[in-house]
Amino acid sequence: MKCIIKRRSLFSASHRYWLPELSATENQQRFGLCTQPMGHGHNYVLYVSMLGELDRYGMVLNLSDVKQVIKREVTQPLDFSHLNEVWPEFSQTLPTTENLARVIWQRLAPHLPLVNIQLFEHPQLWADYEGKGMEAYLTVGTHFSAAHRLALNSLTYEENCEIYGKCARPNGHGHNYHLEVTVKGEIDNRTGMLVDLVALEKVLEDLVVEPLDHTFLNKDIPYFAEVVPTAENIAVYIASILKNPIINLGAELHKVKLIESPNNSCEIYAADLAEMVTITSTPEVALVGV
């Protein structure tokens, strides 16, 4: 029987984004505060996922051995280091989160049966790498606060209460939504980036956070005048708004995850978006999920 196991490791390191072939102004325009001469640091969290058969001892691998491999190959050389200088891979390609995840895979692959490397630079920014050349995933987290009411206009108050419970109360209620947007792309051989992070964060701020924050979704966002603003439908709406702008940045929208509360969340994959948008064109049929 096959099983995936995951091992967490920690290290702290600094890095700097700077390309000598660019002027100081060009570097600052591209990398912002990350160009500071002394660099900056992060407490990185690394998750190493491995696939294998369960042995007669009920293990895929001996985790003590896994721990030693990760320590020897990754965390020991990286901990309290300046990433630009610690490994030769970063002499030509900057140590971005996504590129660092790729290089860690390369260091561990000869020793462990890897299926995914997930690297958190901080809780709102992380990368996933699955061993597919220069392809990687980058996830950015953000948040907004909004109110909504769950009810179909064609139903009575009593009927809506049967479907949505307290969420159908006429004056609505609010949430502090946490949003995670994952994009997919090819890591650039020079910058180490699969997408311009500053530009991506601006797209999220301009198209999602600013328009939705501190609104009553049913009344302030025209899309939700007829479409019930469940977490699922909000995620579909956000994904549909972001898909083309992210393509224009040279990447591809992979997933939108919306966390409505610690107990409720949903995920929308861009590959399914066309089908879902078609379904949502008939509100009374498709938009009753909670």
Residue 84 identity (one-letter amino acid): N
Cβ neighbours of residue 227 under 8 Å, at least 6 residues apart?
233, 237, 280, 283, 287
The tally of CA atoms less than 13 A away on the side-chain side of residue 30 is 18
Residue 266 identity (one-letter amino acid): C
Helix (H, G, I), strand (E, B) or coil at 279: helix
Angle value at C-alpha 77, between 73 and 80, nearest 5 degrees = 145
**CB count, 10 Å around CB of 134?**
15
Token pair of 153, please? 């206009």
Tokens 């990433």, residue located: 83
Nearest CA to 55 out of 136, 1, 122, 121 is that of 1
Is the Cβ–Cβ distance between 187 and 193 less than 8 Å?
A: yes
Q: Which DSSP state fits 185? A: E
Token pair of 76, please? 């020991």
- Report residue 177: phi and psi, to 5°: -80, 135
Token pair of 93, please? 């390609």
Tokens 């939700």, residue located: 224
Angle, in degrees to the nearest 10, between helices 197-204 and 231-248: 140
The residues assigned a catalytic role are: 167, 214, 260
